[in-house]
Amino acid sequence: MKIRLYALIVFLLFSATGCYATITGTVVDSETGEPIEGAVVLVEWTKTKGVPGMTHTESYKVIEAVTDKEGKATVSGVFNPMVNPPDITIYKMGYVAWNNKFIFPNYEKRKDFKWQSVYVFRMERFKDNYSFIDHQSFLDGTAHLFVETEKKKLFIKAYDEWERAQVIKERRNRDSSKGGNGK
């Protein structure tokens, strides 16, 4: 009986971590369903550290992948029951970043994501009324762009090529509309 009990514990632990194993998915445009080539898929595993009441998460492992012509990308996973479920963030110029936990722009919790063997990630086009500054905050909270930057080179490069200049421009416009004199 004891063996069965231990087997159950081991099974449950490994089934939990197995869910976060290999991530294979297709990235598509949410309107047209067309595959998106060249999207950067960033997967980051974290570990919770600290003492109860004062905990924080630290990056454990980061993997990047770029989608092919068919919009497909695969990221091999981490088999460690002590790590948290990974954050998946997908980035492509002209689109809102897709994240497995939160949805831009209102930071709603994503409810349509379940751990499975194959995924379809639907990316929404970046609308004119969206704010690049808000989107930057969203990326800060989801992709943690200031942490482990050496391992997020593709993601940061893609961000720098498109959005950084947009954020700077939006701040300038915002500041000039405020009429501040810089003092």
Q: What does the binding site for other proteins look like in residue numbers (CB under 8 A)?
A: 1, 5, 8-9, 12, 16, 48, 53-58, 84, 133, 137, 140-141, 145-146, 149, 156, 164, 167-168, 171-172, 175, 178, 180-183
Q: Which is nearer to other proteins, 70 or 160 (CB)?
A: 160
Q: How far apart are CA 51 and CA 66, in angstroms?
A: 37
Beta-strand (E) ranges in the chain? 23-29, 40-51, 54-66, 72-75, 87-91, 98-99, 102-103, 108-109, 118-123
Q: Which is nearer to other proteins, 93 or 120 (CB)?
A: 93
Give the shortest CB-74-to-other proteins separation in angstroms: 25
DSSP 72: E
Q: Which is nearer to other proteins, 33 or 179 (CB)?
A: 179
Give the shortest CB-57-to-other proteins separation in angstroms: 7
Q: How far apart are CA 169 and CA 135, in angstroms?
A: 14
Q: Which is nearer to other proteins, 67 or 87 (CB)?
A: 87
Give the shortest CB-58-to-other proteins separation in angstroms: 8
Q: Is 172 helix (H, G, I), strand (E, B) or coil?
A: helix
Give the shortest CB-54-to-other proteins separation in angstroms: 6
Give the shortest CB-1-to-other proteins separation in angstroms: 6
From the number of C-beta atoms within 10 Å of its C-beta (0-12, 13-18, 19+), residue 73 rates as: buried
**Chain centre to alpha carbon of residue 180:** 35
Q: Which is nearer to other proteins, 68 or 133 (CB)?
A: 133
